[in-house]
Amino acid sequence: MAAYHPAATLSFLLVLSLFLLARSDPAPSTPVPPSTACNDTTDPTFCRSVLPANGTGNLYTYGRFSAAKSLSNANRFLGLVNRYLARGSLSDAAVAALQDCQLLSGLNIDFLSAAGATLNTTKSTLLDPQAEDVQTLLSAILTNQQTCADGLQAAASAWSVRSGLAVPMANSTKLYSISLSLFTRAWVPRGKGRKPRPASSSTKPPRQRGRGLFDATDDEMVRRMALEGAAAAVSVAGAVTVDQSGAGNYTTVGDAVAAAPSNLGASSGYFVIHVAAGVYEENVVVPKNKKYVMMVGDGIGQTVITGNRSVVDGWTTFNSATFAVLGQGFVAVNMTFRNTAGPAKHQAVALRSGADLSTFYQCSFEGYQDTLYTHSLRQFYRACDVYGTVDYVFGNAAVVFQDCTLYNRLPMAGQSNTVTAQGRSDPNQNTGTTIQGCSIVAAPELAANTAFATATYLGRPWKMYSRTVIMQSDVAGLVDPAGWMPWSGDFALSTLYYAEYDNSGAGSDTSRRVNWPGYHVLNSTVDAGNFTVANMVLGDFWLPQTGVPFTIGLN
């Protein structure tokens, strides 16, 4: 029998935890010595070495001090990475890993600057969406640092760089964790948790493929999105067309992205790129300054962006993506993103998103290992298809999948399929993967294969605090009765949070699931509600402007 706490026990533990927290944690405005402020952080000893030893402040002043120190550290770390890159005698693998670190460190400077600006303007608890915004940024900073470390670790020829960066990288990670910990204690309301909203505030239309959301032949309709029969206006700042025949404004997707205005605000409207039907063989990056880009194809399998980068061929996992997006507010509709490297090339990403408030509607993502990299920040996927084998939905975003189909393909001999590999590495990160109202099935080639049995699992813990919830979904019988697969020995089995709620299908029976301390079968709508669009990604604040349908609470 799977191990879980009954609802009454959970309620008692929650009340007890809040009571103990109230006794041990001072009010944010109460003056306390640094040693007291550090007591409940992730690393009290390191925290005491960071905060000023003399004088007395409160959690607000300590939090601002730590954030400022983190920003200074991020600048120094980027300088160190740049000095290594300037040497000119490194292996290609080391250079590739360092270039990822360079990009990620630059993002960390941006995120810490934005977080610090918010913290410096308030001396009281933040309310949502501000509290969630800052916690999201500080969570992503840790993810970026971890990605940098993972890339260097994977590059065997980068051993000299790894050794030189090991201590600065470890200290950076601890410092960023302290900043996140102090922030959550000082600025996030105690007992924070939004009650789940009913699903009636959204639409849940039947899924229809092959029908474009934009009518490219009508200049007025390019400014409107059709939500399965109900036209919803989308504010548009400009529109262009990509067409390989030369009939549009551009012949490549990359050129159209480059032409997008820089740093559009949410109130400015979307820059719409209509990508006409065709197979576009290019690796595309939507950089951080290309915000609020909406890319619309002519349908799944009709508009295809494809590439074949892989780790075996010398790319980092991070930079193997056929399509990578960093610009806030990105929306993709009616498109296929594909990586054709194949299972023998191991990690080969079709799409990577590190774009806050990014949305994907009626899209497909095709690959084998590591198909869809939900890297960081807040993301939403609706009515999408994901094809893969090993860890094919992975990363450390706060992400919700709704009405999607997850297709398990035929892996290499000896491999098992794992749908998810969630990468939460710190208990204060507001990240995790929710799969709601989806279907987990066998792809045609796996269903037809009778040569050998392929074990399929819902996920395995990539990092210490891995968090994944499968709820209100149809789980096919190909899923192993144990449900979940360990990463290595007993790693993270006590610290992860894996849960299932109200699923159906032949593979949804939880009576033979793993008995890990971190695994739960949820019976409470309140507990399950923590992982809805409303609570996981605060979607009611930003999804309406995308025009994409969503269910705010439980189905």
How many degrees, rounded to 5, is the angle at CA 127 between CA 121 and CA 131? Answer: 75
Q: Identify whether residues 287 and 410 lie together within a single domain.
A: yes
Measured distance CA(418)–CA(370) in Å, rounded:
10
In this predicted structure, the answer to whether residue 536 has a pLDDT above a threshold of 60 is: yes
Residue at 441: amino acid letter: V
| Inside any domain, residue 434 | yes
Active site annotation includes 391: yes
Q: Identify whether residues 177 and 288 lie together within a single domain.
A: no
Q: 133, 150, 298, 391: which one is catalytic? A: 391
pTM of the predicted model as reported, rounded to 2 decimal places: 0.90
CATH of the domain at 66: 1.20.140.40
Q: Identify whether residues 177 and 284 lie together within a single domain.
A: no
Measured distance CA(270)–CA(530) in Å, rounded:
30
Q: Considering only CA atoms, which of 224, 334, 227 is closest in space to residue 270?
A: 224
In this predicted structure, the answer to whether residue 437 has a pLDDT above a threshold of 90 is: yes
Number of other residues whose CB lies within 10 A of the CB of residue 56: 13
Residue linked to tokens 């992982």: 531
What tokens does 36 get? Answer: 């007291």
Q: Identify whether residues 392 and 529 lie together within a single domain.
A: yes
Three-state secondary-structure class, residue 122: coil
Contact 370, 342 (CB under 8 A): no
* Tens digit of each residue's pLDDT (9 = 90 or more) over 82-129: 999 998 889 999 999 999 999 999 999 999 999 999 999 887 888 889
| Inside any domain, residue 20 | no
Full domain range(s) for residue 103: 34-187
Using CB atoms within 10 Å of the CB of residue 192, give its burial: 0 to 12 exposed, 13 to 18 middle, 19+ buried: middle
Helices 159-186 and 130-154: crossing angle, nearest 10°?
160
* Tens digit of each residue's pLDDT (9 = 90 or more) over 17-71: 433 333 356 788 899 999 999 998 999 999 999 999 887 889 999 999 999 999 9
Report the pLDDT value the prediction gives residue 127, as an integer from 0 to 100. 87
Q: How many domains does the chain have?
A: 2
Number of other residues whose CB lies within 10 A of the CB of residue 393: 26
Contacts of 448 (CB under 8 A, 6+ apart): none
Which helix or strand (DSSP H or E) is residue 165 part of? helix 159-186
Q: Identify whether residues 157 and 306 lie together within a single domain.
A: no
CATH of the domain at 469: 2.160.20.10
Report the pLDDT value the prediction gives residue 269, as an integer from 0 to 100. 94
What's the average model confidence in pLDDT over 253-258?
Answer: 98
Q: What share of the chain is helix, strand, coil (3-state, %, to 5)?
A: 35, 20, 45
Q: Considering only CA atoms, which of 210, 217, 96 is closest in space to residue 148?
A: 96
Largest CA distance in the chain: 71
What tokens does 441 get? Answer: 């099935």
419-444 burial code (b ≥16 CB/10 A, e <16): bbbbbbbbebbbbbbbbbbbbbbbbe
Residue at 403: amino acid letter: D
240 bridge partner residues: 273
| Inside any domain, residue 223 | no
* Tens digit of each residue's pLDDT (9 = 90 or more) over 293-351: 999 999 999 999 999 999 999 999 999 999 999 999 999 999 999 999 999 999 999 99
| Inside any domain, residue 219 | no
| Inside any domain, residue 28 | no
Q: Identify whether residues 181 and 291 lie together within a single domain.
A: no
Q: Identify whether residues 370 and 492 lie together within a single domain.
A: yes
Report the pLDDT value the prediction gives residue 458, as an integer from 0 to 100. 98
What are the CA-CA distances from residue 133 to residues 7, 78, 111, 357, 385 (Å)?
31, 24, 10, 10, 28
Q: Of 187, 205, 239, which residue constitutes the final position of a domain? A: 187
Measured distance CA(377)–CA(110) in Å, rounded:
14
Report the pLDDT value the prediction gives residue 233, as an integer from 0 to 100. 54
CA torsion sign, 132 to 138 to 141 to 143?
A: negative
